[in-house]
Amino acid sequence: METALADYLDDFTRRDWQTLDPDAVTDPVRIAVVGLGWFAREWALPGIARSAYTEATVVTDVDADAVEAVAADHDVTGVTPEELRSGAVADEYDAVYVATPNATHLEYVTAAAEQGKAVLCEKPLESTFDRAERLVAACEDAGVPLMVGYRMQTDPAVRRLKDLIEAGVVGDVVHVHATMSQTMLGELSTDTDQWRLDPELSGGNALMDIGIYPLNTTRFVLAAEPEQVYGTTRTEHEAFAGVDEHASYRLTFPGGVEAMCSVSQNAQHASRLDVTGTEGRVILDPAFYEREDRGFAVVRGGTRVDVEFEQVHQVEEEFAYFGHHLLADEPFYPDGEHALGDMRALDAIYESADTGLPVDLT
């Protein structure tokens, strides 16, 4: 027993998907980074650099100053969005990472697909379900692999949580609570001239930007698809006019298992996923933000274990998985079809918020 515990702890942060030795990689996947917002600068570029399977070679953004500064800092090629889309430097990259405003994903992904490049696209996949479907179709038509940037899915804490559920450690899942909130105007930036506040560019705010985390992570760890959603959105402050500032939603999974979720762009920072089953309970708290460590607890009967582990760089793990699977010629799990499941559910939650009624997804 004690040896089994030691093995469990030793293997906690293992990459269960890794078959290629990272030290043997001589030609990492060369990535063009499209969109140089704070996440790309602070998290994606460092993640790409840390991962043995990837390297950034090209960057672009609508902000020419940002391109110039980042290109110089990282010693990579800076191009205009037009140059990127036209394939002017297509021989300098193998894959394209798209981290632009939601409603511009389609144009960049379509261009990359036409160039025959593999794509890692940020989530939500696009601003509407229809545009997201077109994005997925563009990759399918071109025969290029598409991964979607669900960084939670390659986080070892999330994978271990899923493993525990799959192994029956919590028994049958009874219900899930998930919450994620931040003060978007304050914690990250005080700039109200943001694309996330523009419904045309974002497709929505609290639900689209952070609601997707409880939604997608619950789908992932339960390995199940919601059959019905019911939700509400709410906007109180002028800065959020036209988009949702707060949202709550319930996801009903097969067998009537319900996930009770809430998100806010204007509340005290919180981040928690709590899965309760007939025989145990697993908790991630903090859960969802790249900028915080994950907390991991398992409860069964009267015993609770809090696992403290060497935290990974979450975005390094995501890019390592992306690069690894391209080099190994293996399919991605969080692919376009998977991402369309979120777009469908998000659309339905907005519809439910409009009508005040539950919306069936099946």
**Of 315, 312, 336, the residue nearest 31 (C-alpha):** 315
- Interacting positions 291-320 with a second copy (CB under 8 A): 299-302
What is the closest distance, in whole angstroms, from the C-beta atom of residue 316 to a second copy in the complex? 24
Degrees, nearest 5: CA angle 41-45-49? 155
What is the closest distance, in whole angstroms, from the C-beta atom of residue 65 to a second copy in the complex? 31
What is the closest distance, in whole angstroms, from the C-beta atom of residue 283 to a second copy in the complex? 9
Q: Which is nearer to a second copy, 246 or 338 (CB)?
A: 246
- Out of 98, 222, 261, 287, name the contact with a second copy by CB under 8 A: 261
Distances (CA, A) of 351 to 124, 230, 273: 17, 9, 25
Strand, coil or helix: 147: strand
Cis peptide before 28 (omega within 30 of 0): no
Q: Which is nearer to a second copy, 121 or 178 (CB)?
A: 178
- Out of 134, 272, 313, 344, name the contact with a second copy by CB under 8 A: 272
DSSP string, 2-28: HHHHHHHHHTTT--TT--S-GGG-SSP
Q: In what order do the strands lie in the sheet with 303-307?
A: 303-307, 296-300, 281-284, 266-277, 173-183, 257-264, 246-253, 228-234, 359-360
What is the closest distance, in whole angstroms, from the C-beta atom of residue 41 to a second copy in the complex? 22
CA–CA separation, 341 and 337 (whole Å): 7
Q: Which stretch binds a second copy (CB under 8 A): 46-54, 104-112, 153-161, 248-256?
A: 248-256
Q: Which stretch binds a second copy (CB under 8 A): 81-89, 108-116, 135-143, 268-276?
A: 268-276
Question: Is residue 181 a contact residue for a second copy (CB under 8 A)?
Answer: yes
Question: Is residue 350 a contact residue for a second copy (CB under 8 A)?
Answer: no
- Out of 15, 177, 313, 344, name the contact with a second copy by CB under 8 A: 177
Question: Is residue 281 a contact residue for a second copy (CB under 8 A)?
Answer: yes
Degrees, nearest 5: CA angle 239-244-250? 155
- Interacting positions 187-246 with a second copy (CB under 8 A): 230, 232, 234, 236, 246
- Out of 64, 256, 305, 354, name the contact with a second copy by CB under 8 A: 256
Token pair, residue 248, equals 């709550």
Distances (CA, A) of 143 to 44, 115, 152, 343: 25, 11, 26, 22
On whether the CB atoms of residues 124 and 346 are closer than 8 A, the answer is: yes
Interface ranges with a second copy (CB under 8 A)? 170-172, 174-175, 177, 179, 181, 183, 230, 232, 234, 236, 246, 248, 250, 252, 255-256, 258, 260-262, 264, 266-270, 272, 274, 276-281, 299-302, 356-358
